[in-house]
Structure 1
């Protein structure tokens, strides 16, 4: 997606960048300034990459609904405030903004162009659990990309962007997009939290339920069924899941079902002609909510996966 915005219209500039990255409120620092905005954005699995420059000094306010933002200045600087913390990032640094948390970039310099990475909140938490065993690990407000780990991650990012630009990878294929987004996110986690403590053993009550769900997510699981499998109360099971995985048992069950459905749709079996039949096979009974959840997770409709 490449967009050139009418340089006389700040409202259009705000709308286009909101659609490409995060919804926000834009304020030009000088009332007499004119925008000169170029926006390039692409969806890569559970990530959205956006290159944004306003061409004038602005202030931007947003809550980053549903996702983390990693804003990497390629030139210039951004000065921001979020949750009472001040962060100034120029080339070699990246500002990290948490989901659903009010933040203001108080000064985005006229010469500043960023590479922004939008990471779905639930997806990042799952990656933190997968890579570190710690979904509760807190990302820093700023990442130093001048370190060896930071430079290695930036090298991977540039390589993937170059391969996509040059047509060397079929990034629009869902399975490839997910592989690339997983590689970028996992490497980012390791670069940002290199000294993370080893993961503690999974709490037994959580592991029992994870194992049972993974064995057969198609069963008509209820909260009581899961609690019985763990040998604890429903409330205690919910607390254990939130503490260890950052989600409730029902959300985990849905995530597993979505993965199984996605795998079946991607398999290319000629006998599979209906998304609904596959969804029902894996225990989905509300197809409307399923389709919305599938789109949030993969960035496209299940019918598109079946046709790919």
Structure 2
């Protein structure tokens, strides 16, 4: 596969010890382990660029190599095979990938890949926070457990415009006068493109669409209880008037958005105080964490709702 993805201008290692290259990859791309044949002297090459929050890497080990890694936790790992072939294993599943095929690994998935001696690959590392920020900016609904892609394997040319986008990103990464603002813009586009091209667990239906349910609004509140959610901001988020928002809450829960949010915050605090496994250092810190700055009023409201003071709840769990 002919590829414009990085060039010798990004060269870090050429005809180098594969283990030296592996050490560099561990530091900049992702923690992994390599296993090489016992015989021979393979020579590895590596091109690498940091691009805003992304890492771009083109690598060949010069010999058959098996790469394994535990879950990368906070990173999405995308690989495009440029030359040779690769065997990808996940549990009992096994697939052979060839040039032009793409592999996308979620943060909680372990890595087990075996590459041919002539294999060369391009790696794109994306932090989870980048995809989260795109979802938040677009008002797309993502599960609290995090964004996850459903499929792992794709044909690059079947992903409309993605190959060209990566080529532009690599060209910009190798620019003699890189601009961080431009790089950040491209990074957002790459993340947005992934979320629109590849099936995932994100709902791209805006909060304000006609199909939105009241449960979706409640889910938004539940995921943002640590924030100061004003009724006006919630109405804007839902693309409805303040009057409509109040009517919606009155019909469904019989109270105002403000009182509903306050009750949910108090319920979350009560659950933390009552749970022996919850690391609560002190009540004041917990109350402030949920936006209750007037501690006397907080204690009174808490007692009205639960019939006891916060300190009583904390004592009972010991």
2:217 to 199, 203, 215: 203
Q: Where does 1:236-247 land on structure 2 (aligned, <5 Å)?
A: none
Structure 1 equivalent of residue 261 of structure 2: 230
Contact 2:77 2:105 in 1 (8 A): yes
Query: Following the alignment from structure 2 to structure 1, what is the Cα–Cα distance between the partners of residues 82 and 107?
Result: 23
Query: Following the alignment from structure 2 to structure 1, what is the Cα–Cα distance between the partners of residues 128 and 31?
Result: 16
2:149 counterpart of 1:141: no
Contact 2:82 2:99 in 1 (8 A): yes
Instruction: Specify whether residues 6 and 163 from structure 1 end up closer, same or farther in structure 2 by C-alpha distance, changes over 3 A only.
Output: closer
Instruction: Specify whether residues 118 and 228 from structure 1 end up closer, same or farther in structure 2 by C-alpha distance, changes over 3 A only.
Output: farther
Q: Where does 1:51-200 land on structure 2 (aligned, <5 Å)?
A: 51-63=58-70, 64-82=72-90, 84-105=92-113, 107-131=114-138, 133-136=140-143, 138-139=148-149, 140-147=151-158, 150-167=159-176, 170-171=177-178, 173-193=179-199, 198-199=204-205
Contact 2:21 2:45 in 1 (8 A): no
Q: List runs of 5+ in structure 2 lacking aligned partners.
A: 1-9, 208-215, 234-257, 270-288, 290-318
Q: Could you list the per-position Cα deviations for residues 153-189 of structure 1 after superposition, in whole angstroms to 9, with x for gaps in the alignment?
A: 111110221243343xx43x33222111111111222
Q: Which has the larger radius of gyration?
A: 2
Instruction: Specify whether residues 193 and 165 from structure 1 end up closer, same or farther in structure 2 by C-alpha distance, changes over 3 A only.
Output: same
Contact 1:5 1:12 in 2 (8 A): no
Contact 1:132 1:196 in 2 (8 A): no
Query: TM-score with structure 2 length normalisation?
Result: 0.59
Structure 2 equivalent of residue 285 of structure 1: none
Structure 2 equivalent of residue 281 of structure 1: none
Deviation (angstroms), 1:128: 4.0
Contact 1:69 1:98 in 2 (8 A): yes
Q: Secondary structure at the match of 1:146?
A: helix
Query: TM-score with structure 1 length normalisation?
Result: 0.61
Query: Following the alignment from structure 1 to structure 2, what is the Cα–Cα distance between the partners of residues 90 and 192?
Result: 20
- Runs of 4+ more than 6 Å apart: 235-238
Alignment size in residue pairs: 221
Contact 2:85 2:119 in 1 (8 A): yes
Q: Secondary structure at the match of 2:67?
A: strand
Q: List runs of 5+ in structure 1 lacking aligned partners.
A: 216-226, 239-253, 255-308
Contact 1:87 1:95 in 2 (8 A): no
Query: Following the alignment from structure 1 to structure 2, what is the Cα–Cα distance between the partners of residues 81 and 213?
Result: 49
